[in-house]
Amino acid sequence: MKGALRTLIVFAGLILILAITLALFGLDVGAALSTIWNGAVGSKAGIARSLVRATPLIFTGLGMVVAWRAGMYNIGGEGQYVMGGLASATLALVVRSWAPAIATPALLVGGALGGALFAAFAGWLHVKRGVQVVISTILLNFVAIEFLKFCVRGPLQKSSGGIFQTEALPNTLMLQRFDRQTDFHSGFFLALIVVVIVAIYLYRTKSGFQMRFSGANPDAARASRFEPGKKQILAMAISGGLCGLAGAVDYTGLIGFVGDGFSQDWGFLAIPVALLGNLNPVGAAGAAVYFGGLFAGCEVLQRSEPIGDTIVPLIQGVAVLGVVGMQRWLENRTNQSKGAD
């Protein structure tokens, strides 16, 4: 209950920050907010756009929840997303002749595995070699992005040449779409299913319990024979797997190829999503939908107003800073009122 109230306060605060930002751009705040609102939820197309933006954020946000709950501060969602997309696109070269009912799931599993291995490496470095996971995952982001550039200029480059991207995935292998007018695809439903699975795993299984306990106090987990090191590597693998799955879903559901601009910062935005969701799977899904709507609305605003194309990243940045700042502020308030008791 407290957590829900807190999330509501943060939501409301975000809207206020948003209004101030728009005013600074010299926009009519009321009109601009209503454009964003309509762009996000005002029409079937708007809702579809919001949910499509929310889909990768749900996966990556869940990824952060799992890792951070285990005490592994994974900052490498971006790299894991890229590696997931790349793994999926590589696998596509093999499975393109298979029956779609087998090939498409294989592409998703492949993407998840790609992200999982990439993140598990950072987890292993942390547990066995004492390399802080924060540092290694930040650096591995750069490795992944450079590796992406290399792949789409070399081994995975489209045969017709000239463009730095992979072969387009045949339409038959793409995730199902429900409407010709929108990009909405079945990846969103997959995301919802995964929310439930992750929630069950963390809160209703022995392994998930041991993982959370290991995150809360690794020494006590060791004394209870939970093998916290293994749990933390597993947490990184699951976390990276979810981010990799996000990449694979975007590849098979929305984009259909992997190119230079494949990553849209979904791996980074996952962090405020997880924080806004109180490191809770359902909360993170809610936060992902909220951010998805915000971004979708801002895209419409950008098209309707002569304000240049910086407004979307700017609002993203302001929103993220706002979330982190408000969370911190609320935390301090709670701690202070406890101290006064």
Stretch that binds another protein, among 20-28, 168-176, 204-212, 277-285 (CB under 8 A): 204-212
Stretch that binds another protein, among 163-171, 179-187, 197-205, 269-277 (CB under 8 A): 197-205
Stretch that binds another protein, among 13-21, 212-220, 233-241, 312-320 (CB under 8 A): 212-220
204 lies in the site for another protein, by CB under 8 A: yes
Nearer to another protein, 213 or 262 (CB): 213
Q: How far is CA 200 from the centre of its chain?
A: 19
Nearer to another protein, 43 or 207 (CB): 207
216 lies in the site for another protein, by CB under 8 A: yes
Q: Which of 201, 166, 181, 168 is CA-nearest to residue 82?
A: 166
CB 76 within 8 A of CB 140: yes
Minimum distance between the CB of residue 333 and another protein, rounded to whole angstroms? 18
73 lies in the site for another protein, by CB under 8 A: no
Nearer to another protein, 176 or 207 (CB): 207
2 lies in the site for another protein, by CB under 8 A: no
CB 230 within 8 A of CB 222: no
How long is the chain?
341
CB 13 within 8 A of CB 254: no
Sign of CA dihedral 280, 285, 291, 293: negative
341 lies in the site for another protein, by CB under 8 A: no
CB atoms within 10 A of CB 103: 20
Find the helix or strand (DSSP H, E) in which 78 lies: helix 77-95
d(CA 121, CA 239): 12
Nearer to another protein, 147 or 209 (CB): 209
Binding site for another protein (CB under 8 A): 203-207, 209-210, 212-213, 216-217, 219-226
